[in-house]
Structure 1
Amino acid sequence: MHNSEAFSHSRRRLLLGGAAVGLAAGIGWLRPGAASGSHSAYFQSLSKAADRNGVFQPQLIVDQQRMLANLDRLTAALKNQYHYRIVAKSLPSVELLATLMERAGTNRLMVFHQPFLTQVARDLPAADVLLGKPLPVAAAMRFYQQLAADTTDFQPERQLQWLIDSPERLGQYHQLAQQRSQPMRLNLEIDIGLHRGGIQSLETLETMLQTIEASPWLTFSGFMGYEAHIAKAPGSNDWLRDQAMERYRAFVERAERTLGRSIRDLTLNTGGSTTYTLYRDRHDQVVANEIAAGSALVKPTDFDLPTLADHVPAAFIATPVLKVLDRTEIPGAPGLGRLMSWWNPNREKTVFIYGGYWKAVPESPAGLSINPVYGRSTNQEMLNGSADLTLKPDDWVFLRPTQSEQVFLHFGGIVRYDADQQQLDGHWPVLGSRITGQS
């Protein structure tokens, strides 16, 4: 081999070797780092409180101090510029709602489910209720039938607003009101950008208002314009907020022209947990006079958004550890667990917990995650952690719900955590029976 060829060959080997080293370094840079595997001081305290409580099964815990701090942030932001309506589906417990209503100084609730509405009417008879979604007219009929059998001071003709989203539903509710000789207050759902139904045409609105005005049984009580799409848009939310409020204003102005009177004292509802902060100090530019929010008070992971940066998580699933294994093994795939732990050191150990498959993600100890290959389980869910994971059987794992309305209903009740006293000191029963599809 000539010297020049030998030089070229050496150079190629050097370049290839350098590329391999660079690739390995690059891959190494992409690999996750190992987490500490232990509880923070907060979750250490919560674990000790759960031990003292003596209930060694999955439970839904709400930190009352954190929740009330979130509520105080919300009411301070509204600054009496808007009425505040608590969204009951996100906080589904009579006792919990009563606590929040007293703290916030409001009797306004938004309810989404007929059995919940019936219970609220019975157990919170001073509540002012707006339906958060249009219900089949048969559900309204059932509400009135059950209300007649209950002992309650709740007066639906004054305290309840049914949500109506179309001329067809208006006709159904009008017929029900006539058949029962039942006065009914109707709030109209308007589409201000979410495009999830509701009235889109100003001409349709005018026709519906004329129908309501002509009936001795129906009363127009206001509008509900939901705008959850605003917080999900990339970049600044301001232009979508302004667009939605311009649309809202057009509905209000058409209603006032049609009716020949101001409607500014009616319920003009908007907002939600993800958007309420966008209305701070803008009441002179916003025609809506009421903000609804619920999930912001407990902040599930779906609400980890810039608009809620000042809020803190207040709801956790606590569940006991059943088994801890020093390695991860995947049935039918020898070596895959070792490969997974090589790539991600937080898959070194395996933990099986009591229950699982909730709409929730592991929160503590740090580094825990659901195994993406092993499969989900409602009986004994597999989680993985680092070699430094300190858990042992009967210790506690904590998860954060991704949402509150459905998850809270899985546990039969909410356990109240007093962080000041570092103890679990109460139980809030949940509304009604377990249901799905609350969104």
Structure 2
Amino acid sequence: MRDYHYYQSVFAGIPKPFAFVDLDLLEENAEQIVLQSNEKKIRIASKSLRSVSILKRLLQLDDSFSGIMCYSAQEALHLCAAGFDDLLMGYPIWEERWIEALGSEIANGRTITLMIDSPAHVQHLERIARGHQFRIPVCLDIDMSSDWLGFHFGVWRSSIRSLDAALTVAHQVASSEYLYLDGIMGYEAQIAGVGDRYPRQFVKNTLIRMLKQQSARQIAERRAMIVQAVRELGLTPRFVNGGGTGSLHLTGKENAVTEVTAGSGFYSPGLFDYFQDFRFHPAAGFALEIVRKPALHIYTCAGGGYIASGSAGKDRLPKPYLPKEARLLVNEGAGEVQTPLLYRGQETLELGDPVFFRHAKAGELCERFTHLYCVSGGKIVEEATTYRGDGLYSL
């Protein structure tokens, strides 16, 4: 029973603010992710976790978890130093010194795959690899967005938006002496990252579900077509990656896909409350301290303005989680130095008491804290450092 008193008791005496992970719920979420993946290998998206200890814990949970999708060169180098291998860079890297550093790790036996989506990326990597005489494995990033009558459903990510564009880049890689095609990836953000169960938005939710269904069919065909065409060139990519937590149940069924990616579902942040097709447990959050009671039913916490990235909106605000029925004030939201709440529930709240929140997105919470209190069986069992706690302040 994860109610207010459970966490209040677990964290009694811990100075606030602090962040935490409920390891029992984290493991239950991991089990659900395995079930949804259709027996595909699962690459863990590190941007949603941002803790070496948590990453290691998940990789040891189940043989289905294999490899990491990184989001920056600095992070990948940090994970190399911590002993991780099979790292896929989720985004292209242009800065030469970071490419050189990753290339050195590759030359020393690490499996690190760099992302590309244009001839310019191929030419840039080719020049650097030639200068240092090492071979770089690369992954072709395919655009997975959908377009209908001028409406763009998806994110502006890869420039490879057609079979011809994919084959152009693949041909360049095939003719390179210093690059080789290690993988193909396509991230369907419009399915994996777009909620379709927002309260009091029936028309919008219905439209998004329809768009998702049509897009899922389209991208499955596109992915299969491109993978087949690339293989007909004589290229043999080690993996074909797709998905995100929000689309595992669909992407895992594609025959062309050999592995899926999951990240946010492990912590299950606030934005994941707005998806129709799955439910995970809230496994991570943070606590603020009540420092004022300016009016009846109003409780003001210190700090709390941990706003998530993306298009600005109410769903990017942190969500009061426990005690239940606590609400942000419409005209104030979550503030830089204070966050007032409206609460008319059954709990008797006093100055110094905690209020537990969930961040809107998963890993960004870890940019605010140096460590996570790890809870299991009603007690704190570990203090796991975040990347920030490890000294990585700029990623």
TM-score, normalised relative to structure 2: 0.84
Match of residue 291 from structure 2:
322
- 2:245 is paired with a residue whose SS is coil
Match of residue 384 from structure 2:
428
Larger radius of gyration: 1
Match of residue 288 from structure 1:
257
* 2:242/2:260 contact within 8 Å kept: yes
- 1:243 is paired with a residue whose SS is helix
- 1:235 is paired with a residue whose SS is helix
* 2:273/2:279 contact within 8 Å kept: no
Match of residue 47 from structure 1:
8
Higher strand share: 2
- Distance across 1 between alignment mates of 2:155 and 2:2: 44
- Distance across 1 between alignment mates of 2:100 and 2:33: 35
Where do 1:5-404 residues align within 5 Å? 42-51=3-12, 54-80=13-39, 82-105=40-63, 106-125=65-84, 127-138=85-96, 140-141=98-99, 143-144=101-102, 159-193=111-145, 194-198=154-158, 199-231=160-192, 232=194, 234-236=208-210, 237-257=212-232, 259-260=233-234, 263=236, 266-279=238-251, 282-283=253-254, 286-306=255-275, 309-327=278-296, 349-359=297-307, 360-374=318-332, 376-386=334-344, 390-404=348-362
- 2:61 is paired with a residue whose SS is helix
- Distance across 2 between alignment mates of 1:354 and 1:142: 44
Unaligned 5+ segments in structure 2 are: 146-153, 195-206, 308-317
- Distance across 2 between alignment mates of 1:416 and 1:142: 36
1:137 Cα offset (Å) = 3.5
Residues 259-296 of structure 1, C-alpha deviation per residue, up to 9 Å, x if partnerless?
235x3x6211000011102245x24xx31111001101
Structure 1: 4+ residue segments shifted above 4 A:
154-158, 432-436
- 1:411 is paired with a residue whose SS is coil
* 1:58/1:320 contact within 8 Å kept: yes
* 1:277/1:307 contact within 8 Å kept: no
Residues 27-50 of structure 1, C-alpha deviation per residue, up to 9 Å, x if partnerless?
xxxxxxxxxxxxx86221110111
Residues 110-169 of structure 1, C-alpha deviation per residue, up to 9 Å, x if partnerless?
0001221111111024x2111111122335336348x67xxxxx7676511100021112
- Distance across 1 between alignment mates of 2:183 and 2:100: 24
- Distance across 2 between alignment mates of 1:270 and 1:414: 29
- 2:167 is paired with a residue whose SS is helix
- Distance across 1 between alignment mates of 2:246 and 2:2: 29
1:313 Cα offset (Å) = 1.0
Structure 2 counterpart of 1:318, one-letter code:
A
Q: Which shows bigger deviation, 387-396 or 158-167?
A: 387-396
Higher helix share: 1
Unaligned 5+ segments in structure 1 are: 1-39, 149-153, 328-348
1:206 Cα offset (Å) = 2.1
- Distance across 1 between alignment mates of 2:224 and 2:59: 29
TM-score, normalised relative to structure 1: 0.76
Structure 1 counterpart of 2:250, one-letter code:
L
Structure 2 counterpart of 1:219, one-letter code:
Y
